Structure 1
Amino acid sequence: MRLHTMHTVARCAAAALLVAGSTGLAFAAAPAPFNIKIVALNDFHGNLAPPAGTTTAPSTTSPGTTVRVPTGGIAFLSTLLQQIKAENPQNAVVAAGDLIGASPLVSALFHDEPTIETLNLLGIDFASVGNHEFDKGTSELTRMQKGGCYKKGTVGVDTCIVDGGFNGANFKYLAANVVKDKTGETLFPAYKTKEFTSPDGKKAKVAFIGLVLEGTPSIVTPAGVAGMTFKDEADTVNALVPTLKAKGIEAIVVLIHQGGTTTGLYDDPACPGFTGDIKGIVNALDPAVDLVISGHTHQAYICSAKAKDGIKDIPVTSGGFYGRMLTDLDVTVDPKTKDITAVSAHNLLVVNDGSATVPPTEVPAGYVTLAKDPAEQNLIDTYNALAAPLANAKIGSISADLLRAKNAAGESPLGDVIADAQLAATAAPEFGAAKVAFMNPGGIRADLIYNNAYYTGEAAGDIAYGEAFNVQPFYNTLVTMTLSGAQIKAVLEQQFDNPAVGQTRMMEVSGGFAYTYDNAQPTGSKIVAGSIQINGVTVDPAASYRVTCNSFMATGGDNFTTFASGTNRLGGALDIDALSDYLKANSPVPPGPQNRITRIN
């Protein structure tokens, strides 16, 4: 069947018995439709502990207003999930990518093994691959699936540290549109199926197709995905539909790490202002697809979009990020056609006790704190104890909040500080003789908060290593290279129409570097001629300059391909070490001045 309605209960079955006139012939009752439960999460990013901040939610006591609810933490999330599964034995638990990568210290220090182990306890069935699963390359991603101890170097601590081994993910990663160039095979299976049984014994299989965004190579380290081709998402799904139908599979669910945005709250069925890349992908899908579970944008929504035929509405959901909520889907299956006939979707908050927020947050009236799953909490406690000496070590102090929020020109107070730290680490001749440092905004993952009592024994303004690591969790190294003045202008121009037309990725820049851009000019000509300066001296297009960026950018990450042409490269310290050293040397560190980039028009 083709009709899919959001927030709908399954329709009634056909009449139980029909009698044909005087012949007395009776026809058997049509098998009754039945419900299965699908529970989804996305963009978890190794947030085992409750993340900082709260979720905006409707007030239960003052209609039309909102409250702030403390959410997240895998021990709380597991309790909610197990409750749902216990009440719905016919279930599938799935994920839409970025379960690991850009993780807090307690997971990243152990190469994300803690996250995989806690997700195994959840009982996930299938997960699409996200772009952050590729942060350390395809070999390390394969280890996450198959298991084995980390063998590649000195970053972090030894792995397999808790029980002497790492068995990998019990769930199956799916990657239908990621193909190995040498063999033509997909990196992971394109899809997996799960069979469900109706109360009267009829069986139906649901296929789960996994996809990552086609643009992944432009937002991860290029070396990490070398030898892989990322194919169009909709074309990949549509090509699989005949294969699935030939196997008698009519129920098709897509797990895709790509998403959109909406102006509504996390569970608003009206889905106001729904837009983004995912909408165009769904518009190109075969109407045989029944449900799309998405991610990537860190937005939470319950929406829908037209299929390729322009008639069928395909439900599209996303559960936010960091484990703050689960997407709860009641799916009705017709055992006769084996197709999905209705989908009802809600995003459920994972309400924690508020003790991890800054300052601690009380749970508002009408919202109930979940209990902690003891098995999950015991595992987290084990890793927390191993990481605590490093996580709680004071490395410096700040004089006020250092935030990622940018001004109109594209600078943030924290971004300024990070760029200054990277310049300080590479300015000496023996470390590169850098004159300017550039930082990609996507590599800044958290704020530094002045009053943060989460870390043991921390006074106001103190910064612990764990806090700094949450800001820069990638273990990128610094690379100093030579660029011409013309190349510096070229890389600045690459900030615009990036990653898509009309969008910007404004790099953070170090002190002493300045430029002006005219936003009214066309892409490729926005940087005002003669405005680029280093220490007050105009940059000469023909002269050579030493510049620093991280190893992700140095190979062309985030579409800053000009950096890949830099010469006379010198590898340096880890980015987190540069930030730590800067905080130690300059405490208390004030917010950056946000006066290095000027925007006109």
Structure 2
Amino acid sequence: MVALMKLWFLSAALLGSAASAAPLTVTILHTDDLHGHLDPVKVGEGTYGGYARQTALFRKYAAEDTNPLVLSGGDTFQGTLFYNVYQGLADVLFMNLQGYQAMAVGNHEFDNGPEALARFAQKAQFPLLAANLDVSTEPLLKDLIKPYAVLNVAGQKVGVIGAVTPDLPLISSPGDNVKMLELTQSLKGSVKALQDQGIDKIILVSHLGYTLEQEVAKTVPGLDVIVGGHSHTLLGTFDNKDFPPSEGPYPTVVQNPDGNRTLLVAAWEWGKVLGRIKVTFNDAGAVESYEGQPIVVSADLPEDPTAKRMIETLSVPIANLRKQVIGNTTQGLNGSREIVRKRESGMANVLADAALEAGQKGGAVMAFVNGGGVRSSIDAGPITFEEAITVQPFGNTLTLLDLTGAEIKQALEHGVATWSESKGQFLHVSKGMSYTFDLSRPAGSRVTAVTLNGQPLDDTKTYTVAMNTFTAKGGDGFDVFKNTKGRRIDTGTLDIDILVNYLKAHPTVDAQPEGRIVIVNEPK
């Protein structure tokens, strides 16, 4: 009888173990870096995204797909007038409607301090995750951000861990009470905590960026899928002339140190695509098979009527914000095309100084603005939000690059190489910096002097330079920026916000040319 009882208990244990470790198929629907884009955005010749179309897609696939999981790679905050008005509370309404089940905390979630993030988290019907943050001494957040969550899927448990960029203190405003923890050890600790609970299917919702996420996949055992964010990375294959080149396959497959594969996915930015991947785990919790491709959220897709009505209602205060006065200029700021692509400009000086102020927290000592990035002048009188948008309409973000003096001179040479053609690569510089170029000399050797705070630039010294991400990634032919090996931080701070914050901090701005750029032997 005792032997029979032992056999019964052993059989029950084995059956229970098999049940908890059965194969499982899930479909991950994911976004990242939405940045408050409730409305569709123009890309090339088309328009893409918008929360109404996203909502329709979420509902469609939630009904059709096997075990859907709706996840976010973070940075819901910041980037449109909707954020300026609602500080994320509009976005969380849609995320709840769309059925999100977990979200990584992004750096922009802290742009208005712990207070705004706390209000968002209190309204969210899903957990906010960041394993490498210690919020235990921040009273507003201590119960609202967790290292990981456990989701019940078809009778099984799936672990979801979060992570935020280690650059957070440099590029946002988490406050003194939010502490960064060492990334790798934090992630390994959360993986172990989940495995100790018998959970062997683990997803990381990440706001680390594509490059660092690949390193994490190579060094942290136990991660099956990484849902990425922060680097605004487009993965996959698209036959779409409006889209930029893809940065890698979807998914990007990385060999994990546990001997299994880690699948890395991302969904670009602003809801222009919706990530969708079906993953089958074997009974040991490892990825057995997968298939997927981001869905293009194009203008021909239907809009969810409820979400559309919500956006219409939330849009009413936006019209008033566009008319809001944010600054003043008694003389006007000249940003005309024929000026900014050939010589110093008051409008360009303001943009360069604004970029420098925004980047100083991350160590910036100078800033560059490409002439092609200055899109309009501002007339004398009160400056409205609408006028600021016409000057900076791109949605570019701010990047900090560590460059040698020699690299900086090379960039300035490139900027003046096509001076007679009025191209957008002409570089403007921030206060305290100046350079001289001689148009009688051949392209490539025209820059004759570069100074910072009155001292010549040292070719071997490293300087931290703020500039827009377009330029930092090699736009306008700046290969020297694209290929530099120095530190690179994409702050994620939008160009329009940089300008607006600067104008608010300097109520009257009357910048004029002041000798930052000196032209010698200009043709008559």
TM-score, normalised with respect to structure 2: 0.63
- Cα distance, 1:422 vs. partner? 9.1
- Cα distance, 1:400 vs. partner? 4.2
RMSD of the TM alignment (CA)?
A: 5.0
Task: Give the secondary-structure state (helix, strand or coil) at the position aligned to 1:109.
Answer: helix
Question: 2:309 is matched with which residue: 378, 383, 401?
Answer: 378
- Give the Cα–Cα distance (whole angstroms) in 2 for the partners of residues 43 and 111 of structure 1: 15
Larger helix proportion of the pair = 2
- Give the Cα–Cα distance (whole angstroms) in 2 for the partners of residues 412 and 440 of structure 1: 15
- Give the Cα–Cα distance (whole angstroms) in 2 for the partners of residues 247 and 422 of structure 1: 48
Give the aligned partner of residue 486 of structure 1: none
Distance change (3 Å), C-alpha of 1:33 and 1:136: same
Give the aligned partner of residue 391 of structure 1: 322
Letter in 1 for 2:225: L
Give the aligned partner of residue 327 of structure 1: 275
Task: Give the secondary-structure state (helix, strand or coil) at the position aligned to 2:278.
Answer: strand
- Cα distance, 1:180 vs. partner? 3.2
Q: Does 1:214 align with 2:166?
A: yes
- Give the Cα–Cα distance (whole angstroms) in 2 for the partners of residues 188 and 73 of structure 1: 27
Give the aligned partner of residue 299 of structure 1: 233
- Cα distance, 1:245 vs. partner? 1.8
Letter in 1 for 2:451: I
**For each residue in 1:549-577, what CA deviation from the matched residue of structure 2 results, as whole angstroms up to 9, or x when unmatched?**
9xxxxxxxx99xxxxxxxxxxxx994244
Give the aligned partner of residue 109 of structure 2: 133
Question: Superposed, which structure 2 residues align to 1:496-535 within 5 Å?
Answer: 496=402, 509-510=429-430, 513-515=433-435, 531-532=450-451
Question: 2:148 is matched with which residue: 191, 209, 214?
Answer: 191
The answer on whether the counterparts of 2:272 and 2:296 sit within 8 Å (CA) in structure 1 is yes
**For each residue in 1:395-419, what CA deviation from the matched residue of structure 2 results, as whole angstroms up to 9, or x when unmatched?**
999644999xx99xxx999864513
Question: 2:129 is matched with which residue: 171, 174, 177?
Answer: 174
Give the aligned partner of residue 283 of structure 1: 218
- Cα distance, 1:329 vs. partner? 1.4
Letter in 1 for 2:212: D
Question: Superposed, which structure 2 residues align to 1:117-128 within 5 Å?
Answer: 117-128=93-104
- Cα distance, 1:53 vs. partner? 2.1
Distance change (3 Å), C-alpha of 1:413 and 1:471: farther
Give the aligned partner of residue 308 of structure 1: 257
Question: Superposed, which structure 2 residues align to 1:122-521 within 5 Å?
Answer: 122-146=98-122, 168-180=123-135, 182=137, 188-197=145-154, 203-221=155-173, 224-260=174-210, 276-286=211-221, 288-301=222-235, 302=250, 303-309=252-258, 311-334=259-282, 336-337=283-284, 340-352=287-299, 369-391=300-322, 399-400=336-337, 416-419=349-352, 464=387, 466-467=389-390, 496=402, 509-510=429-430, 513-515=433-435
Letter in 1 for 2:267: G
The answer on whether the counterparts of 1:192 and 1:208 sit within 8 Å (CA) in structure 2 is yes
- Give the Cα–Cα distance (whole angstroms) in 2 for the partners of residues 180 and 79 of structure 1: 35
- Give the Cα–Cα distance (whole angstroms) in 2 for the partners of residues 215 and 347 of structure 1: 28
Bigger relative contact order (CA 8 A; separation at least 6) = 1
- Give the Cα–Cα distance (whole angstroms) in 1 for the partners of residues 116 and 368 of structure 2: 24
- Give the Cα–Cα distance (whole angstroms) in 2 for the partners of residues 332 and 50 of structure 1: 33
- Cα distance, 1:248 vs. partner? 1.8
- Cα distance, 1:228 vs. partner? 2.4
Distance change (3 Å), C-alpha of 1:447 and 1:78: farther
**For each residue in 1:461-503, what CA deviation from the matched residue of structure 2 results, as whole angstroms up to 9, or x when unmatched?**
x9645545867999xxxxxxxxxxxxxxxxxxx95269xxx9x
- Give the Cα–Cα distance (whole angstroms) in 2 for the partners of residues 112 and 315 of structure 1: 30
Letter in 2 for 1:193: V
Distance change (3 Å), C-alpha of 1:191 and 1:470: farther
Task: Give the secondary-structure state (helix, strand or coil) at the position aligned to 2:159.
Answer: strand
Unaligned runs of 5+ in 1: 1-26, 55-67, 147-167, 198-202, 261-275, 353-368, 424-436, 451-461, 475-493, 517-527, 541-548, 550-557, 560-571
Q: Does 1:75 align with 2:52?
A: yes
The answer on whether the counterparts of 1:468 and 1:580 sit within 8 Å (CA) in structure 2 is no
Letter in 2 for 1:38: I
Give the aligned partner of residue 92 of structure 1: 69
Give the aligned partner of residue 35 of structure 2: 45
Distance change (3 Å), C-alpha of 1:531 and 1:399: closer
The answer on whether the counterparts of 1:53 and 1:70 sit within 8 Å (CA) in structure 2 is yes
Task: Give the secondary-structure state (helix, strand or coil) at the position aligned to 2:39.
Answer: coil
Task: Give the secondary-structure state (helix, strand or coil) at the position aligned to 2:193.
Answer: helix
The answer on whether the counterparts of 2:30 and 2:275 sit within 8 Å (CA) in structure 1 is yes
- Cα distance, 1:538 vs. partner? 5.8
The answer on whether the counterparts of 1:105 and 1:473 sit within 8 Å (CA) in structure 2 is no
- Give the Cα–Cα distance (whole angstroms) in 2 for the partners of residues 580 and 349 of structure 1: 42
- Cα distance, 1:104 vs. partner? 0.7
- Give the Cα–Cα distance (whole angstroms) in 2 for the partners of residues 378 and 513 of structure 1: 50
- Give the Cα–Cα distance (whole angstroms) in 2 for the partners of residues 83 and 593 of structure 1: 59
- Cα distance, 1:291 vs. partner? 0.7
- Give the Cα–Cα distance (whole angstroms) in 2 for the partners of residues 348 and 299 of structure 1: 14
- Give the Cα–Cα distance (whole angstroms) in 2 for the partners of residues 402 and 225 of structure 1: 41
- Give the Cα–Cα distance (whole angstroms) in 1 for the partners of residues 306 and 143 of structure 2: 35
The answer on whether the counterparts of 1:418 and 1:579 sit within 8 Å (CA) in structure 2 is no
